Amino acid sequence: MMGETQTKSALELERESVSVAQSAGLERRIGPLQATAINMTTMCGIGPFITIPTMVAALGGPQAVFGWIIGAIIVLADGLVWAELGAAMPKAGGTYIYLREAFQYRTGRLMPFLFIWTALLFIPLIMSTGVIGLVQYLGYLVPAVVDSEGHANTTGHVVGLGVVVLVIALLYRRIGEVSKLTTFFFYVMLLSVFGVIAAAYTHFHPEYAFDYPKGAFAFGSTFWTGLGAGLIIAIYDYLGYNTSAYLGAEVKDPGRTLPRSIVGSIVGIMLLYLMLQIGVLGVVPWQEVAKSTSIASLVVETTWGKDVANVLTGLIIVTAFASIFAGLLGGSRVPFEAARDKVFLSWFGKLHPKHHFPHISLLVMGVITGIGSLFDLTSVIAVLTAVFVLVQSIGQVVALTVLRKRQPNLVRPYRQWLYPLPSLVALIGWIFLYVSSGLQPVLFSVGWIALGGIAFVIWAKIESIWPFGPKEIKEEFLV
């Protein structure tokens, strides 16, 4: 498949890492199909159904399709970073593990601590956007939950909070049962997306879909001036391709499953988004698309009528619910591993006594998701993007390079294709995205990380670790 083939000894070492994960109490029950389903369900969700109008408006017309392609190139390059790191270190927590292993030599536990600090904010905020979008589409069926502009009112906020409670209740069970629910949600997601695509292409008008404004790609046009804003939307819609890596300790044969699930989900979702974007533009003139608040429902109503539009809207709402479900499933595992390593509050590392999942972590992230759902969509996307880029995205690109030098004997079931080219593409893309997120999100992200740095210094002083004590070089995955 991908990367270099393992030797017999490498396979034996991977089996040893599996036994270590099992000794921690987590169960490897997630197979390749389920891992890919978890990623794709998290990625799609409500995202494209609420952001296609914003993308068209930002890039100034049907040329918005190229925003999805450029965004896919960035996340595919970053996905290859995740693939190598995840396959080599398949434990719960994802980025936390990778940063811990790479930066322990110089800054002790600072980087993994900052990641958990930021993850507790940006992971639930991603799920909050799903709640916001769910209520927005629910407004098509039940107008009482939205205001005159299509945004949640007080009733809508109450409904959104109820959705978060329901998600937590469904996740409060063993991973085997949860993965079955995720597979079901995956098929619902595919049905809703392909339903809208089918509606669009049965009444497709090429003169709408390819109605490019004069000078659409000219230097200084809306396409170029709005590319930064468009990429923020595109990257937001692709987020989730790494969810299976957060569940590394619960994935079967992680050396093969994780790379395949990451790359496969990115390519699959990109194709779906392109089909969806072009199809929508072929039914409704792009000027109307740019103003719509429930574009998928509008497309289906235009082509197949109000009754069918109601049914498809219901499926979209279930799809939004599924993305929240899958995202909290993976995100709740991140603080768990840090707590087990004594890099975060110890109670985040507790497993449910009966169902064996990190229940306290799930509850905390659920609460933050609920709070985030009370804000407007644009603000939430801008803030979460700026926060995760600095520590997670850029940090992981650096971590892969550091680990190649510091731990050359690390067993790598998959090695990044064309290294270091994908890492460089991802790094440039993330820097551009961060600068494009806007002054206030950038200042907020810097302030949040600075506050995390202060918290780390206080915690390090109490624990007598670096910089107030010796560094602990762990190298957990080297034998």
Tell me: pLDDT of 45 over 50.
yes
Q: How many CB atoms lie within 10 A of CB 170?
A: 16
User: pLDDT value at position 362?
Assistant: 87
H or E stretch covering 422: helix 421-436
The proportion of the chain whose per-residue pLDDT surpasses 70, expressed as a percent, equals 92
Amino acid making up residue 468: F
Ordered by where they begin, the domains of the chain are 8-463 (1.20.1740.10)
User: pLDDT value at position 178?
Assistant: 61
User: pLDDT value at position 3?
Assistant: 41
Least confident of 154-168, 261-275, 293-307, 316-330: 316-330
Q: What does the mean pLDDT of the chain come to?
A: 86
Token pair, residue 469, equals: 């004590």
**In this structure, are residues 403 and 102 in contact, taking their beta carbons and an 8 Å threshold?**
yes
User: pLDDT value at position 292?
Assistant: 85
Which tens digit of pLDDT belongs to each residue from 185-230?
Answer: 778 878 888 899 999 999 999 999 999 998 888 888 889 999 999 9
The pTM of the full predicted model, rounded to 2 decimals, is 0.83
| Residue bearing tokens 């670790």 | 465
Nearest-angstrom CA–CA distance, 176 and 172 = 12
Burial 242-278 (b: 16+ CB within 10 A, else e): bbbbbbbbbbebbbbbbbbbbbbbbebbbebbebbbb
Nearest-angstrom CA–CA distance, 427 and 447 = 22
Q: How many CB atoms lie within 10 A of CB 307?
A: 9
Confidence of residue 450 (pLDDT cuts 50, 70, 90): very high
User: pLDDT value at position 174?
Assistant: 64
**Residue from 444, 381, 368, 359 nearest 169 by CA:** 359
**Residue from 83, 118, 117 nearest 98 by CA:** 83
Give 169 or 18, the one with higher predicted confidence: 169
User: pLDDT value at position 15?
Assistant: 44
Tell me: pLDDT of 9 over 60.
no
Nearest-angstrom CA–CA distance, 455 and 28 = 34
Tell me: pLDDT of 355 over 70.
no
Which tens digit of pLDDT belongs to each residue from 395-429?
Answer: 999 999 999 999 999 999 999 999 999 999 999 99
Which tens digit of pLDDT belongs to each residue from 264-318?
Answer: 999 999 999 999 999 999 999 999 998 887 899 999 999 999 999 999 999 889 8
| Residue bearing tokens 């709640």 | 131
Tell me: pLDDT of 16 over 50.
no
Average pLDDT, integer, range 86-102:
90
User: pLDDT value at position 216?
Assistant: 87
Confidence of residue 382 (pLDDT cuts 50, 70, 90): confident
Most confident of 3-12, 24-33, 117-126, 253-262: 253-262
Average pLDDT, integer, range 240-261:
90
CA distances from 28 to 24, 114, 405 (A): 11, 28, 30
Tell me: pLDDT of 8 over 70.
no
Average pLDDT, integer, range 46-64:
89
Tell me: pLDDT of 27 over 80.
no
Give 166 or 21, the one with higher predicted confidence: 166
